[in-house]
Structure 1
Amino acid sequence: MPKLSVIIPVYNGEKTILKTVESVQKQTFFNFELIVINDGSTDSTLELLAHLREPRMKVLSYENGGLPVARNRGIANATGEFITFIDADDLWTPNKLELQLAVLQQHPDADAVYSWTLYLNEEGTAFHQGEQLYFQGNVLPQLLLSNFIASGSNIMIRKQAIASVGYFDPTLRSCEDWDYWLRLAAHCAFVVVPKYQIIYRQSTTAMSSKVEVMEKHLLIVHERGFRLATSELQFLKNQSLANIYEFLAHLCLNYISGTNGAKQAYQKLRQAIVLQPSLLLTKKTQVLLMKIGLILLFSPKLSERILQEVKTLRAKNLESINTYS
């Protein structure tokens, strides 16, 4: 039976690390090693991990180097034929490893597999579904348009593919996963497990201060991605850039409070529409415009109450996650 390496990079993850490790321990596939890279944590992360009785787990501690460096350290210590990552605040459904490995074994020509994502609220009480996507084979065109993989807690890779792609870029402080998936897609075929298996925890911690950092790195990765692409794919460049600005508008609206956030969101969305006017015909853009309008027209408190009601209606109870396994 092939051996898997599961890598968890963690920095000050005392609030969530045990739940993340537990979701790995509950996997229906058992033959894996669990490598936890402690990236210079100063909280009780190490103490919590020390109390776990898990013979497949080893905890390696380093000075803080950032997420890409921590993932690279995990790769360097991995002995498995297949490698996958999970961030220290995310979760998996119990069959994630089993089904992803099975699909890779059924497709020896593919080097990477992904699944669908559920988005969990910060309190861990409710979630909503990400898109159901079926992109397979050469997925570079779709990845150039957006990071549909959604997070670093998703993909499983054949270790042999890393030899041709290399490691995560340690100079990137954001979007390093999209950069890596693009490089993978330029060399490797992808396959999909058409099930919701990744539970991505959304966090508002310092997000407002990160919007500018994210914009900077999104544009860097966007430029790099199109350098990888053939001339036949360059026509996607404007659409890709428009998707970036629409995503940034969403971040501004959700993580920068009041009219300031709405004004910044409008500026980003306007840039997106100038680049790709057809966005105005999409439901996603229309909903964003409606939210921005609500905040600018009404008091922040009233608009927040309306938007919260909409979120509550969309969200599903956490208990129903079990139906996706």
Structure 2
Amino acid sequence: MPVISIVVPAYNSERTILETIASVRQQTFADFELIVINDGSTDRTLDLLKTIEDDRLKVFSYSNGGVSMARNRGICKSKGEFIAFLDADDLWADDKLELQLAALKEHPSAGLAYSWTYNISEEGKLLYPLEPTFNGAVYADLLLWNFLSNGSNPLIRKQAIESVGEFRPPSTTADWDYWLRIAANWDFVLVSKHHVFYRHLSNSMSTKIDMMKEEILTTLERAFESAPLKFQHLKQQSLANTYQYYAEVYLRNINTSDRPSEIDRVISNLWQGIFLFPVSVLSKYTQSMIAKTLLIKILSLENFNLLINLIKRLKNLQSSR
């Protein structure tokens, strides 16, 4: 029996699937099975998978059911003591499984090990890192924000997965919902290394962002419905964090064609977050968002981007001294 089962949901992933699978096959820990759930792909995904010669690879094809269904199908096929999920457009550092497995063995009370993430562009360019520091009983911290960031991050004990059951739709928030259900009963352990490279795809239309935000707000409502009374005071802060995060998302996706309405979305979400949790206005993050919003109202989009890039270069220059 393999020690680790890796579940990769794949839907029309011809552009990235081979690179993703290569990052798995390059792992320093090799005792795994690689389960790819072909989720009704209509492109060359299945043909490309057939070119891979590796006895650890198992491909199962189904009609399209979405990411949550694909992960659940992969869990049912898994035989390992530990399970990892990897989206078909993300990548792993080569010692990801080795170090996460060692962390779980060192901490028997932990049901899930996670690592730091580096966000990358569609072309694979490094964008920005996420480096949370939470260990142990993280349920309260996870109610405030999804510090795991993505579905390709954790390695999970099979017992922890069996204790919470299946992923639930909608797919855009299924990760956070699942980590919360595990955190309610299990400790988490952090591996302080950038192991996950989470790819941002160019499908971030405002209407899609609106839908994702509403799904997250619905997931949070459900999470707090089941949260113990002692955690209910965190709800306003959690909702505020979500609104302010989406203010940043809208800000990153502003374009010249629809600039006025997109700026309005930034302002609306930013102030909704401040209204829900007023003390957030004292944080550097919120103050930075306010400053950026004011600047983009005053400057053209081109001049705003020039200013931001200049600030980044100056910071990099200063840090290199």
TM superposition shift of 1:310: 5.0
15-24 or 300-309: which moved more?
A: 300-309
Partner of 1:318: none
Partner of 1:86: 86
Write the distance in 2 (CA, Å) between the matches of 1:84 and 1:26: 15
Are the aligned partners of 2:118 and 2:126 in contact in 1 as well (CA < 8 Å)? no
The superposition leaves residues 199-242 of structure 1 with CA deviations (integer Å, 9 ceiling, x where unpaired) of 11122314422112112111111112112321111111111110
Cα RMSD after superposing both structures: 1.8
TM superposition shift of 1:311: 6.0
Write the distance in 1 (CA, Å) between the matches of 2:164 and 2:315: 39
The answer to whether the aligner puts 1:205 opposite 2:203 as a matched pair is yes
Partner of 1:157: 156
The amino acid of 2:191's aligned partner reads V
Are the aligned partners of 1:165 and 1:187 in contact in 2 as well (CA < 8 Å)? no
Partner of 2:24: 24
Q: Percent identity?
A: 48
Partner of 2:282: 281
TM superposition shift of 1:84: 0.5
Matching of residues 4-19 of structure 1 within 5 Å: 4-19=4-19
Matching of residues 110-125 of structure 1 within 5 Å: 110-125=110-125
Task: Give unpaired runs (5+ residues) of structure 2.
Answer: 317-321
The superposition leaves residues 291-317 of structure 1 with CA deviations (integer Å, 9 ceiling, x where unpaired) of 2222211222322333455567789xx
Matching of residues 32-71 of structure 1 within 5 Å: 32-71=32-71
Write the distance in 2 (CA, Å) between the matches of 1:255 and 1:38: 31
Partner of 1:259: 260
Write the distance in 1 (CA, Å) between the matches of 2:311 and 2:73: 42
The answer to whether the aligner puts 1:223 opposite 2:221 as a matched pair is yes
Write the distance in 1 (CA, Å) between the matches of 2:22 and 2:315: 28
Aligned in 2, Cα 1:314/1:54: closer, same or farther, shift over 3 Å? farther
* TM-score, normalisation: structure 2: 0.92
Task: Give unpaired runs (5+ residues) of structure 1.
Answer: 316-325
TM superposition shift of 1:121: 2.0
Are the aligned partners of 2:132 and 2:147 in contact in 1 as well (CA < 8 Å)? no
TM superposition shift of 1:244: 0.7
The amino acid of 1:254's aligned partner reads R
35-44 or 247-256: which moved more?
A: 247-256
Are the aligned partners of 1:118 and 1:200 in contact in 2 as well (CA < 8 Å)? yes
The answer to whether the aligner puts 1:301 opposite 2:287 as a matched pair is no
Aligned in 2, Cα 1:28/1:207: closer, same or farther, shift over 3 Å? farther
Partner of 2:184: 186
118-127 or 22-31: which moved more?
A: 118-127
Number of matched pairs: 313
TM superposition shift of 1:126: 2.6
Write the distance in 2 (CA, Å) between the matches of 1:14 and 1:309: 37
* TM-score, normalisation: structure 1: 0.91
Aligned in 2, Cα 1:181/1:233: closer, same or farther, shift over 3 Å? same
Secondary structure at 2:41's aligned position in 1? coil
Aligned in 2, Cα 1:195/1:309: closer, same or farther, shift over 3 Å? same
The amino acid of 2:50's aligned partner reads A
